[in-house]
Amino acid sequence: MSLLFSPLKIKNTTFKNRVVVSPMCMYSGQDGFANDFHLVHLGSRAVGGAGLIIQEATAVSPEGRITPGDLGIWKDAHLDTLTQLVAFVHSQNAHIGIQLAHAGRKASHHLPENGSKKIAPDGEDGWQTVAASALPFRDEEPAPIALDEKGIKKVKEDYIAATRRAARAGYDVVEIHAAHGYLFHQFYSPLANERTDLYGGSFENRIRLLLEVTEAVRNEWDDAKPLFVRISATDWTANGWCIEDSIQLAKALKKLGVDLIDTSTGGNIPKATIPSKPGYQVKFAAQIKQEAGILTGAVGQITTAKQSEKILQAGKADLILYARESLRQPYFALQAAAELNENVAWPLQYIRAKI
């Protein structure tokens, strides 16, 4: 059997294969609510054979949304549609995770179809953003407010409440979004954090908020269920966050009960030079896996079954996450199985088309 289609057990959860649909914002919610689009979108990837589907960045608070179209889990009313979504994915013999997120200073933007530009706090559909420090993502944008002690406490409480709701909805995995220049990345990167209190300055202080939230989430989340954290392994910028920092962070997260590091990069600096090419982030997943001794997921321009299998066979990662490729091919897993000569189960409704 290929590694891509071999099962992987994490805690009490056995994923039927290593094919994971990466969390991708769809900007199609309303007041945080999922709708029929999300059911069809994520459901079709479950029908398509993925072992795990991770739901897009789902805001733990209204101010944590990137746009007014983001999904949310900040109130109980959100659970009706989310529970329906979870149930359908489970009915297709797949697992589903939820990425809990807070955008920090990268919140309050127009929808992509409206240009994705920053909305001022007093603008229509806009709100005041918060961050580690009062530094805007782009110089021309309104500055966020640096979180004070009360604001930090609220972030922790929001993550605790969101985790409880995720458990009630029946998700199999919780992933904390700490990458791509969003709130936790804003704290741990020295390029976005100018604080002089317990949450700024030294490496230990800059990672403090992420560790405190992770510990709180782990305490709320079933010990037997997997907990992932997505990080940006590097800022791709001099004097910024780097792979050596990520390895130390991964070690600290592992001690708190994190099971897997979903390894991405960038997003914190608008003008960073990123050498984007097929598999360009895999080396970071490999380093973290080897040096921190923790499971990793590889993501970033991984588009074929053979490329995926090569990564797994080399021991560079344990799961492969597909973003754009899963948009192009909702049934990627079924097609990849055929390419690797794997005889996997097809949905009964589609079995007449089995290759």
**Which amino acids are annotated catalytic?**
182
Residue type, 108: S
Strands (E), the chain: 8-10, 13-15, 19-21, 52-59, 71-72, 95-101, 130-131, 145-146, 173-178, 227-232, 260-264, 295-299, 319-322
Which residues, listed in sequence order, are joined to residue 55 by a DSSP beta bridge?
Answer: 98
Rounded to whole angstroms, the Cα distance separating 213 from 160 reads 8
Rounded to whole angstroms, the Cα distance separating 169 from 79 reads 6
Rounded to whole angstroms, the Cα distance separating 132 from 119 reads 19
Residue type, 90: H
Buried b (16+ CB within 10 A) or exposed e, 297-336: bbbbbbbebeebbbbbeeebbbbbbbbebbeebbbbbbeb
Q: Check: CB of residue 120 under 8 Å from CB of residue 127.
A: no
Radius of gyration from C-alpha coordinates of the chain: 19
| Tally of residues, the chain | 355
Q: Output the CA–CA distances (angstroms, integers) from residue 214 to 63, 171, 175, 256, 294, in the order listed.
A: 20, 17, 10, 7, 16
Residue type, 150: K
Rounded to whole angstroms, the Cα distance separating 144 from 115 reads 20
- Helix 79-91 and helix 36-47, axial crossing angle in degrees, nearest 10: 20
Rounded to whole angstroms, the Cα distance separating 307 from 60 reads 35
Residue 246 phi, psi (nearest 5) = -65, -40
